[in-house]
Amino acid sequence: MKLCYHTGGLQYLPFEAVVAELAAAGYDGVGPAVGVGQHVDPATADPAAIRDLVARHGLEIPILNPWGVPGLAPHVKRGDGIAFYKQCIDLAVALDVPYVKFLSGETGSDSEGWRILIPALRELCVYAEAQGIGLVMHHHEDQILDTPEKLLLMEMWVQSPALKCLVDVCNMHLLNWDVPYTIKKLGNRIVHVRFKGIIGRYPHSHFIVPGDPGDETDLAPAITALQEIGYDRYIDPVTFPWMPRDHATAMYDNVARRLAALNARPYKQGQPGQTGQPT
C-alpha cells in the first residue's frame, strides 16, 4: 500500500507548498482538494503545470477530492452538481488520475436523496465510464450513503462499472461496522482507503490527528482484511484545517511505522528540514 494525503487539511497553504511538504515528509501521493477557491479549481486548472509539479516531487495523484462543495444530492438539487462533477471527470482525464470521489450528502429525507442520486449517478457514470474514470462513493455518517448495504444498493440501481467504493476506517468505527466483514464484502469495489484519528463513537465523538494520544482507530483489522482481498493501492490519514499547523508532517512517522509493522508498506524515512518549502 501507499500513503496519500487529502490536501483539504492544509487548504490555507498554496498547493505548491503542500506538495513540497508531503514529499519531504515521505508520502507517496497527494489527493488535491478540488473546487472553486480550493487547491485545484476544475474550471481553471492547468493540468500540465500540476502534472509537472507533482512529478518533480516524486509523487502521484491517485484520486481527486471535491472539497468546499455540498454532497452530491444537495449539489444536484442546487442545480450545478452534474456540471461540476463532469468538470472533475474531465480534469481527472487531463491529469491521468483514475478516480474522482464524492460524498452523497443529505436532503430533507433519505428517500428524496435516493431519488436525486440514482439518476444523477446514472448520468455521471455514463460520462465517467466513456472516459475511463471511476466515480467513487465515500460512505459517511449523517449522509445518505452511510452503510455498506447502501453502497451495494446504489451499485444495483446504477449498474455501471465506473461506480466504485472508498472505505473510511474511522467512519466504519463511528457507526460500529464489522470492519473486516465489510471490506471482504465490498472486495474489489474498493479503490481507495481513508482513516482519521477519533475519540468516541457517533454521535458523541471528536477528531484528532491520527496517532495522537487517545486515538481509537485500530488500523490492524482493516489492513489485514485489505491484504486478504489483495488491496495494494492508497490509504489516506485525514486531518482538518483547524488541527495544528504541522499535522501532515507530524503524523507521517506514526502512520508509516504502523503500516510497516503490519507489513502493508515498507517504512520510508522523511527528509527533515524541507517541510513546506516549494521548489
Q: 12 pLDDT exceeds 70? A: yes
pLDDT at position 271: 72
Tell me the per-residue pLDDT of 189-217, one tens digit each, with 9 for 90 and over: 999 999 999 999 999 999 999 989 999 99
Contacts by 151-158, CB closer than 8 A, 24 or more apart: 151/186, 151/189, 152/185, 152/186, 154/117, 154/118, 154/121, 155/189, 157/118, 157/121, 157/122, 158/118, 158/121, 158/122, 158/125
pLDDT at position 268: 87
Four-way CATH pick for 2-261: 3.40.640.10, 2.40.420.20, 3.20.20.150, 3.90.950.20: 3.20.20.150
Tell me the per-residue pLDDT of 31-53, one tens digit each, with 9 for 90 and over: 999 999 999 999 999 999 999 99
Q: 2 pLDDT exceeds 60? A: yes
Q: 78 pLDDT exceeds 50? A: yes
Any idea where the domains of the chain sit in the sequence? 2-261
Residue owning grid cell 465506473: 162
pTM for this model (two decimals) = 0.94
**Paired strand residues for 250:** none
Q: 222 pLDDT exceeds 70? A: yes
pLDDT at position 277: 40
The length of the chain is 279
Instruction: Kindly indicate the confidence band of residue 276, based on its pLDDT and cuts at 50, 70 and 90.
Output: very low
